[in-house]
Amino acid sequence: MSRGDHVLGIRAPELARTTPRVPGQAMSASDPAAGGDAIVGPGESQSPETSRSPGPDAAPVIDAHIHVFPPEVISQRERFLALDPHFAALYTNPRARLATAEDALASMDRNGIAGAFALGFGWTDAALCRMHNDYLLDVQSRYPSRFACFAAIQPRAGAATLAELSRVVSAGLRGAGELMPHGQGYRLDDWTVIDPLAEALVSLGRPLVIHVSEPVGHRYPGKGDVSPVAAWELARRHPALRLVFAHWGGGLPFYELMPEVAADLRQTFYDSAATTFLYRFEVFRVASEICGAERILFGTDFPLLRQGPFLQRVRALGLPDPALRSILGDNAIHLIGGDGSWPGAAGAAG
């Protein structure tokens, strides 16, 4: 049995305020502004992650936003930098970390994380999306009780996009995304591009994860210009589509203080990917009070950030136990499993 592929059988005091840092900016793993959760580059010192194993009755933790890449992308990084401009924009810096599924499993096992959403990358080239999906299908097959994999999709490919989506969903992938419109050459509110994908996902009963960024604040590699306005308009246009707006939806939860906006977003989720770089961790409490803890997904953006320190910071917030359980795992399990169970857990061999 491969490492980590065991049967889960799962069912569904604030920290000191710190200044958010810029993704891609050099920092030490011990930098207090990063909370110790940033991963440093090759050859740099790094304090070990501290694993806090939950008790036997603890709720499962699901990291709803990680990225894993095929080994050949990592070993032949320079070739892929030349092949795809969006990949180059994010990963030319040798300090920008890439991880395989096995790297992710090692981190998950160290930190008591039961499962993860392994998201596709927003390749510019649809052929590279297919290559990445082949790897994600292999990961899903080898580790069904640990990963729910999402398809890499290039919506600009038109009919080929829908054929690829049908192929990978029928073979076992659990959704689509992370869409990265800013790097893939389209706008989220270009309905001629987005509508066919949205309609197909509704028909297939699969969720869509989208990168959304803050319209204010510091610039950083990969921020892009996918605004909360475009995300809100997509939710209004496709109310039956299950949406996950990554990176706190670029601040969209705060607009849910407006009743008409909240009404349009009742079926959407927000993940917490890269919080360290964007907000104070009080965002978990504030967003829970505004839109409900049942719509927030714990996500780290591993390997950009280390899972252990990130998880510790969330647990240290002192959120009510029901809210913490929802955020750390239950919401992700229900989004993917529907029946309250993690996909593959019941049938996996131990």
Element (H, E) at 243: strand 243-246
pLDDT value at residue 56? 44
pLDDT tens column, 93-118: 999 999 999 999 999 999 999 999 99
Q: Are 220 and 277 in contact (CB under 8 A)?
A: yes
- The structural domains of the chain, ordered by start, are 58-337 (3.20.20.140)
Paired residues of 77 in beta bridges: none
pLDDT grade for 21, boundaries at 50, 70 and 90 = very low
Mean pLDDT of the chain: 85
At 115, is the secondary structure helix, strand, or coil?
Answer: strand
Q: How far is CA 206 from the centre of its chain?
A: 15
pLDDT at 244 over 80: yes
Phi (first) and psi of residue 283, to 5 degrees: -55, -30
Query: What residues contact residue 293 under an 8 Å CB cut-off, 6+ apart?
Result: 319, 322, 323, 324, 326, 327, 331
pLDDT value at residue 16? 29
SS3 content of the chain, % helix, strand, coil (to 5): 45, 10, 45
Task: List Cα–Cα distances, 106 to 23, 38, 342, in angstroms.
Answer: 23, 17, 19
CA distance 128 to 94: 21
- Give the residue with greater pLDDT, 194 vs 215: 194
Task: List Cα–Cα distances, 288 to 234, 245, 256, in angstroms.
Answer: 22, 15, 11
Half-sphere exposure of residue 337: CA atoms within 13 angstroms, side-chain side: 25
From the list 126, 61, 10, 131, the residue with the least C-alpha distance to 302 is: 61
Which segment of 26-30, 98-102, 155-159, 233-237 scores lowest on mean pLDDT?
Answer: 26-30
- pTM of the shown model: 0.85
pLDDT value at residue 219? 81
Which segment of 119-123, 224-228, 307-311 scores lowest on mean pLDDT?
Answer: 224-228
